[in-house]
Structure 1
């Protein structure tokens, strides 16, 4: 009886947890996204004003599945390798979405049925885009007349005032849209647009009051209605997401100190290493945050493992690498190259995953020029990534994960044994 109750209790607890777990199944069209096959796809979100890395997975057969377990309905950003867009959408806890990205999708905001705020965003964006096209068409028509007369300026000002009036009227009408009526975030965004357009303050206050009554339980997210300021995103969250954006070739999130994300004009991109190349074993020697020099490692093979504490697939791969290294302690060494931005987070991860003494470690510098050089010379465009080196520090293989890495090390071990036996026979 008690055992049955315990089992039932566990099932209820698990089902409650699964209720908040959101999943996104993604199918990519080969014509546009074929280059993404075998590469890592990332998902991050903005909670309030903080950037959070949610999940990542490898694209296999042009499909992948992402999971999130965040507490609120949040804006998500999907980073697909070999594309120019970050795809934005909204999702709430418990949503399970199937997204098909095709060559026809060019907009950065995905219109996904079933995500309330996302649909509200899209409807507002479409309405504003339509209104903007009307204004631009009028402006272009006026410019083509080439009127060299003071009346031209008066006419232009009149068209601009009409445009502002029509835009404000449109925004107010959108507050009663069937989707926006249910979305506190988009309603709050409309208030910001009205305020920016100079809508009369008394009338705007009335609209704020109506919206606060409409969404009594969501005031903590309605900063434009409540007048509460949003604290700026922390340097930690910006720096972490910028590292993902950087290695995948996306522009960085603006930082207060632009010098940390800008390369000097005299930067020359190095030629990337290819299979068969012998690498510079002193490449990491100038970096302060390292536990050992790569040049000091004498094992027959070295795995250069590029990872970060925020990269869940990287961390998932650690037990597999540990197991392989323990099976071949005299054959393989691991030199873990961290792309973390903050040293304390990196140090915590070394203890958390119990790899402080199992691997040799180095953390890439905050200096954007040094960081960029190492990323470029090893051709890192996503993590986890690894490079297997032989005794001459020649590149044998790129990006061996899971069973593929285990099979390769076993093959090398067997070939070394055969070579040793052959030498003994010759003697």
Structure 2
């Protein structure tokens, strides 16, 4: 839930973070009782709470309290579907804070306007500031799918990577400009949460966090951020790669430390993960190019319990049996993945002969370029 906030930029300052009594008053056209709204957020105990409300002539409301300011998801179900099985959600992200949050739209939450409380007003304005870059990203993704359907994805990859990075960098600049200029804003902490998984802890995340005001750092989210920072510091570039042992396809235990002295790409993937399967040819290309230069790949699968056959089938189909494949078959609770703070896949870590992490999240051309810089 903490990663819901993806777009941020305006002004709001807080000196005290305390119990938040919130009210949500919504109006979406004239929708009736066939439509239902669900509000989901993380409680202070670390559990998700979901409340629901039936619409009456488009009107719905929620009332509650949280121990701190938190972000939340508001989902509108239009025809009685199971909320957990909706593939194209009509969803709005909110910040639960003291006061009344007003939501209005003619037909759906996607087109809703949010007013009433400072952070939600800010969030709406920030989303608007990022809209050009976000639309560019959506357009690029659609174009890439079109090229894929035509079998011409390779013709578009370099242009896609360049333009996608430019749009992403534009959003990132907005975020970090805001953090630097608003150390007293709770919004700055929400922004920083988004980047913990992808940015350098020692060079970016920790200095930005330390520059926030004491009130913000001592909030519930601030304290949990300290815990998150400590976890990710252990898998920072230049840190000693945490050791783990998992069984290979034959049931033999393989330890990462047994490969010390080699360059090891620890590659987290799964048979059910389409982006992983799409990236596998690139990993295979890297292995075949540098396997005679002290380079090995250790694939770690997040396949689910009782899914060994699917795992083995994917290895065979993608020609991955040439390098090490391990898994404890615990799905998202894979112990190595938890150790490396893996929140999404594909994800990888490049470990040097000395056992230290050299780089992470190398995909596509970035993987080939990094390996070429080491071996050529």
Same fold (TM over 0.5): no
TM-score scaled to structure 2, two decimals? 0.40
Relative to its length, the structure with more helix (as a share) is: 1
- In terms of fraction of residues, the more strand-rich structure is 2
User: Which of the two has higher C-alpha Rg?
Assistant: 1
Structure with more relative contact order (C-alpha pairs < 8 Å, separation 6 or more): 2
